[in-house]
Amino acid sequence: MIAMRLITSGLIIGALLLFGYLFWTSEGPHTDQDDASFAKEKPIILQNPEMSDFDGNWLTMRIRAKTARVFENKKKTLLHRIDGEIFSRQESTEPTLLFANSGTVNGKTKLITVSGDVRVIFSDGQKLFTENLILDQKKRQLYNKVKVRVVSENDKIHAERMRYHIRTGVLILSRPKAWIDTGLF
Amino acid sequence: MAYSPYIEHPEPTMRQIPNHVFNSGRATIIPVLVCLMLFPVPVTTARTRDTVTITSDKTAVVDKTKGTAVWQKNVRVIRTSTGSNLRSDRLSIKRDLKGKRINHAEALGNVKAVFHRQSETGSTPLQVSKSIVTCDRATFDRDSSLAELSGNVHVQTPDFELQADRLRYNIQTERGKITASPGQQVRILFYKKQGPSEPETNASRSETQKITGLADEILVDRPAHKSVLQGKVLIIDHSDQSEFKADRAELFFDDLEEIETIVASGRFSMKQPKRLSKAERAVFEYATEEVTLIGDAYVKEDDNMEVSSARIKMYMKVNRGIISGFDDVPVKMKIEIK
């Protein structure tokens, strides 16, 4: 009887741990660099690569890196020292700039995950700082679920996570706290 | 003759609508309390640096193309230097597209602003007064310079209370309008100033110091040093249960924003203990504490003496009695001899 209870308890705990693991991995930005399976494939290494993405004739984004390791089988590219530009449909609008220490381009999902000292400079000059960020090329969104800091000339906003719609220019910050300098009102 | 021109009465009567109550300075501070939270630097004065913090339990949605930011769920705004704060369900701010200035702000749902104001005059120590404003919606628009509070507007300061449905105030022209919802009246309540020997405390503020006013609407015109109460105006001085009614009351202020003159017009009537007055118009002169009743003027005093004329001048205090008619206007007096 006791053994049955232990087994049942063990199963429940196991299920919870599994759920927690799955939930966690699907929530946060995935760092493919840690994936051991990368070691099995020998990558193509590129120095100072530049990648461009087009929607028809429209250049939607351009990403540069110091180095890139391309894993063809996995359709993934690991980037080091990234800077990029995300272009608006409107030519008059300045591009959104993106900087990060490292990143992963997933060719299947069209997700670019960047991490480490991530900085975004929006077209209006507002800057966003965070540690992890995902660029969804299909949905044309930037998002994350970690803390962000948004800074502009007149104010500063801290938030728990963010989502930025590139097409519409709408930035959604969760549980925000802002400091606004009234001297510039 | 039972008539004495100086009837003694223990209490002063309808003399005081305390001067500070309708003073335009106070009246003007009310509508801008909320916008001061967001726009602490007046449009026309020099800028001082300060910080405002805004937090919310849900999201801030920043639309970069429109220059708007919308804060949702339990929004709190705190002005760092004074601790003045604002709470609402939702707050939206619109900046100009260069992002430098806020052009429009709206606080919506359960709006509550607590405004701390520091004052230091002469040798008196620093005093902090607290004002509380609640309403359903508060807006400020820079282009039109219009600040507006609407829906269950309630303003409370240490010596003043206001209940209305809508309050609109133009910060540029310094003119505003306070109105009630249909079938209701704007209600104001204030306390008489206490003398220097009686430091103001909550305990010392009793019913007897209270003045209540009702009107369909109140207009504020600061450049003209004037406020107008109109539509079934009723002012009650709870200290002596005196009250006056009129269709309209215009209040004029001096440079110190103290009441100089009140002109009440349209079916004016004033009840004071031992005195009833009626006229088409009444002019209250605070410097001399005199009231001039104009047009079908009538005064009944002590239930046994009636005076009627085209014009009657009398003291505001009943115990100082009636002064006279005017040289060019005959006075008709009726005295009941018991």
What was the pLDDT predicted at B54? Answer: 92
pLDDT band at B73 (very low <50, low <70, confident <90, very high): very high
Chain A residues touching B40 at Cβ < 8 A: 182, 185
| pLDDT greater than 80 at residue B5 | no
What was the pLDDT predicted at A152? Answer: 87
What was the pLDDT predicted at B76? Answer: 94
For chain A, how far is it from start to end, CA to CA, in angstroms? 72
Nearest to B39 by CA among B158, B171, B161, B166: B171
Answer yes or no: do A175 and B58 touch at CB < 8 A: yes
Answer yes or no: do A176 and B101 touch at CB < 8 A: no
The arithmetic mean of pLDDT across residues B30-54, rounded, is 53
Answer yes or no: do B51 and A177 touch at CB < 8 A: no
What is the chain A residue with the closest CA to B65?
A169
The answer, for B44 touching chain A at a CB cutoff of 8 Å, is no
| A to B CB pairs, distance under 8 Å | 87
What was the pLDDT predicted at A12? Answer: 54
The answer, for B65 touching chain A at a CB cutoff of 8 Å, is yes
What is the chain B residue with the closest CA to A181?
B51
Tokens for B311? 């014009």
Cβ atoms of B135 and B154 closer than 8 Å? yes
What was the pLDDT predicted at B164? Answer: 95
Answer yes or no: do A178 and B60 touch at CB < 8 A: yes
Greater pLDDT, B252 or B10: B252
What was the pLDDT predicted at A92? Answer: 76
Cβ atoms of A68 and A84 closer than 8 Å? no
- Which of B54, B58, B65 is the closest to A180 by Cβ? B54
The arithmetic mean of pLDDT across residues B96-110, rounded, is 82
What was the pLDDT predicted at A25? Answer: 37
Answer yes or no: do B56 and A176 touch at CB < 8 A: yes
What is the chain B residue with the closest CA to A174?
B59
What is the chain A residue with the closest CA to B58?
A175
Neighbouring CB atoms inside 10 A of B257's CB total 18
Q: Of A86-95, B64-73, B167-176, give the lowest mean pLDDT range.
A: A86-95
Chain A residues touching B54 at Cβ < 8 A: 176-178, 180
| pLDDT greater than 50 at residue B19 | no
Answer yes or no: do B99 and A152 touch at CB < 8 A: yes
Answer yes or no: do B59 and A173 touch at CB < 8 A: yes
Cβ atoms of B115 and B135 closer than 8 Å? no
SS3 A56: coil
Shortest CA gap B44–chain A (Å): 12
What was the pLDDT predicted at A168? Answer: 87
Tokens for B239? 């200290």
Distances (CA, A) of B253 to B21, B221, B262: 11, 10, 9
Distances (CA, A) of A161 to A97, A173, B98: 19, 6, 25
Task: Tell me which residues of chain B, numbers 95 to 114, contact chain A at a CB-CB cutoff of 8 Å.
Answer: 99-102
Q: Of A25-29, A76-80, B217-221, give the lowest mean pLDDT range.
A: A25-29
Tokens for B143? 């282009």
Chain B residues touching A124 at Cβ < 8 A: 64, 99
Cβ atoms of B331 and B325 closer than 8 Å? yes
Q: Is B149 left (phi over 0), alpha (psi -120 to 50) or beta?
A: beta
C-alpha span between B190 and A43 (Å, rounded): 81
| pLDDT greater than 60 at residue A163 | yes
Nearest to A137 by CA among A77, A52, A78: A52
Q: Of A43-47, B70-74, B238-242, B246-250, give the lowest mean pLDDT range.
A: B238-242
Greater pLDDT, A88 or B328: A88
| Interval B200-212: pLDDT, tens | 555 445 554 677 8
The answer, for B46 touching chain A at a CB cutoff of 8 Å, is no
HEC-encoded secondary structure of B40-73? CCCCCCCCCCCEEEEECCCEEEEECCCCEEEEEE
Distances (CA, A) of A173 to B22, B53, B61: 44, 15, 6
| Interval B170-200: pLDDT, tens | 989 999 999 999 999 999 887 655 444 445 5
| pLDDT greater than 70 at residue B28 | no
C-alpha span between A60 and A54 (Å, rounded): 5
Q: How buried is residue A23: exposed, middle or buried, by Cβ count under 10 Å (0-12/13-18/19+)?
A: exposed
Q: What is the bridge-based pairing of β-strands A170-174 and B59-63? A: antiparallel
Chain A residues touching B39 at Cβ < 8 A: 182, 185
| Interval A14-61: pLDDT, tens | 444 444 443 343 334 444 445 566 667 788 899 999 988 888 888 889
Distances (CA, A) of B202 to B117, B150, B207, B271: 18, 29, 11, 29
Helices (H), chain B: 24-29, 33-38
| pLDDT greater than 50 at residue B2 | no
Percent of chain B's residues with pLDDT above 70: 70
| pLDDT greater than 50 at residue B151 | yes
What was the pLDDT predicted at A40? Answer: 74
| Interval B269-321: pLDDT, tens | 999 888 899 999 999 888 888 889 999 999 888 777 888 888 888 887 777 76
Percent of chain A's residues with pLDDT above 90: 48
What was the pLDDT predicted at A164? Answer: 93
Helix (H) or strand (E) holding B261: strand B259-272
Mean pLDDT of chain A: 81
C-alpha span between A22 and A17 (Å, rounded): 9
Which residue reads 């500063």 in tokens?
A: A156
| pLDDT greater than 80 at residue B35 | no
Chain A residues touching B51 at Cβ < 8 A: 179-182
Cβ atoms of B86 and B93 closer than 8 Å? no
Answer yes or no: do B59 and A176 touch at CB < 8 A: yes
Answer yes or no: do B60 and A176 touch at CB < 8 A: yes
